[in-house]
Structure 1
């Protein structure tokens, strides 16, 4: 069966998603939603920079998108709009998204309840993921399958974000804020709330009931004025962030998600960043996994190539989940509700 797909927005991640959709033999791009007026009417292939036209024009008319009766919308703005999501779900349209959504808890109880009602009314499913949070926690939980006596699970992400500092998804980090700035820790918590959802998802995959989920953050500060794209980071201001979301059972952390992000190396404390992921399964036996990503062509191992690869890593867990999400029971679904998902063999 060929699934009819609408791509929602063509930002960096949306373009990667659209490119994946049109490559697959089991999917057909039937529509494209655009926020910007200057994109309306333009061909999807042009907006995705594919070097060819696809015969699908962008629209900003949500009713026109619903009228297409797609099987699924690949929903990839930077942030979720509960009104838009609800309209699509109520119309019976399944959704996969990378827009900082996994369980809906980060949006608040009222928003999550509204989405659940919309999904039930339309008989549709809503799934959110990315590489992290999302796929890496699922991988970590699966890694425990070769062990017994599982005691805890820890995922550590470490990246120097200097070349990506202009991205809008870093606006909530507060790069360049003064040391000890009141409210900074709380602001970061809001900006990374989807990691809290990832703890919840990991617990569901493991079949663990958590007592609570805790948050902690530490900051490192620049030792000199930094040249950072789209940011002002002077000596003494924040140039490093380490967040930890912990799932607690009986007072102990059984799931820990740690993310350390820096802007270069001129920081104090002198944190290092290993530029990748480490998964630690504390069980019998212990499992330690190092996860790295490299471009298929090592000649693309440039700042631009790495940024492009990052968009593919973000989009792919959602796109590869589409067949399973379309087949899933209505509601907000997570990795705990879906069968294993893989990439498809190279298609057209």
Structure 2
């Protein structure tokens, strides 16, 4: 008879909105032990992570702004959640022998370029560590789409759409590159959105890998909707005839048997900052998977607040739910990532990831 497994030692990188949710999830699991936190702000150094992350108690884990001190706490895994990828930062952690699960716009790493990708792979091999990136979308949404296709034969196309009202969140930092409120036909706007959403090219690549398809080409098409009147939002005013809706579609293509081009996967983001737009688009208020095969499939994922959240359903509450569904895919992947071979891994390399049942 064996004793209980030793919990994996976990540290978190920064104490922002995603990590606040990650810390709650880690604290609730017997197989994970929080041992450290890195904080950018000097005034957070030495403060207990429980207080920094809004828990009602101390966790006995002070934050630090010293990377060496953090590594000295011997974490097995770091939950890494800055907004953007810092290759040198990630490489340092991997070379130190620490596995990293990140929500920082990384799924396959291809979008970083060949040199950066090679540096991360080399660092992982040198340290015997593993790097995994996910979130709700990109990441978990593509896993959901691929699993959905598993009950259809002769699959020809798989698409997954994020179709949501973002009116309360257009001022968030992750939307900064999208150019909400720019005028109609503003030069270079579509190209800026393509560049700002390029991580979804990695989502297309991931979906192709999960379906066992080698994609020949990945493309992006951006379409805008414009406000039919001035729109007053918490973070900005979008003037009439300025951009208040976006449809951003990343597609993966193969060469068919006749030598022609065929789209086989698609990842779409339809974001509306207002319903007072032209064209009069609507949103699904969730995630939609569509599979063309035998049979055809359509799966809709809606996200509902808990009873506790419904009692205090504010914009802040909805925002925290969004951060929770970003954090949980990487937190739940920690045991599988730690058990994986060194290198950069995706859902295509791991067993199915899910949440443990509450004891």
| Fold match by TM threshold 0.5 | yes
Q: 184, 187, 198: which one pairs with 2:189?
A: 184
State yes or no: 1:130 paired with 2:135.
yes
Kindly provide the CA deviation profile for residues 287-341 of structure 1, in whole angstroms up to 9, marking residues without a partner as x: 1101101012143444332211111101000000000000000111000000011
- Asked if the contact 2:80–2:103 (Cα under 8 Å) also holds between the matched residues in 1, the reply is yes
Kindly provide the CA deviation profile for residues 215-247 of structure 1, in whole angstroms up to 9, marking residues without a partner as x: 110011111222123334211111111100001
User: Structure 1: 5+ residue runs without aligned partners?
Assistant: none
Equivalent in the alignment of 1:167: 172
Equivalent in the alignment of 2:64: 59
- Asked if the contact 1:294–1:301 (Cα under 8 Å) also holds between the matched residues in 2, the reply is no
- Asked if the contact 2:36–2:70 (Cα under 8 Å) also holds between the matched residues in 1, the reply is yes
Q: 219, 233, 241: which one pairs with 1:228?
A: 233
User: What is the DSSP-based 3-state SS (H/G/I as helix, E as strand, rest coil) of the residue aligned with 1:10?
Assistant: coil
State the distance in 2 between where 1:65 and 1:86 align: 15
Equivalent in the alignment of 1:155: 160
Following superposition, the deviation at residue 103 of structure 1 comes to 0.8
Equivalent in the alignment of 2:317: 305
- Asked if the contact 2:163–2:283 (Cα under 8 Å) also holds between the matched residues in 1, the reply is yes
- Asked if the contact 1:243–1:259 (Cα under 8 Å) also holds between the matched residues in 2, the reply is yes
User: What is the DSSP-based 3-state SS (H/G/I as helix, E as strand, rest coil) of the residue aligned with 1:163?
Assistant: coil
- Asked if the contact 1:175–1:231 (Cα under 8 Å) also holds between the matched residues in 2, the reply is no
Following superposition, the deviation at residue 83 of structure 1 comes to 1.1
Q: 97, 102, 106: which one pairs with 1:97?
A: 102
Q: 331, 334, 344: which one pairs with 1:322?
A: 334
Deviant stretches of 4+, over 4 Å? none
User: What is the DSSP-based 3-state SS (H/G/I as helix, E as strand, rest coil) of the residue aligned with 1:134?
Assistant: helix
Equivalent in the alignment of 2:3: none
User: Structure 2: 5+ residue runs without aligned partners?
Assistant: 1-5, 256-260
Q: What TM-score, normalized by structure 1, do the two folds share?
A: 0.97
User: What is the DSSP-based 3-state SS (H/G/I as helix, E as strand, rest coil) of the residue aligned with 1:295?
Assistant: coil
Kindly provide the CA deviation profile for residues 244-269 of structure 1, in whole angstroms up to 9, marking residues without a partner as x: 00010121110011110011111111
State the distance in 2 between where 1:69 and 1:80 align: 23
- Asked if the contact 2:85–2:104 (Cα under 8 Å) also holds between the matched residues in 1, the reply is yes
Equivalent in the alignment of 1:259: 269
Indicate the RMSD between aligned Cα atoms, in angstroms: 1.1
Equivalent in the alignment of 1:345: 357
Equivalent in the alignment of 2:298: 288
Number of equivalences: 347
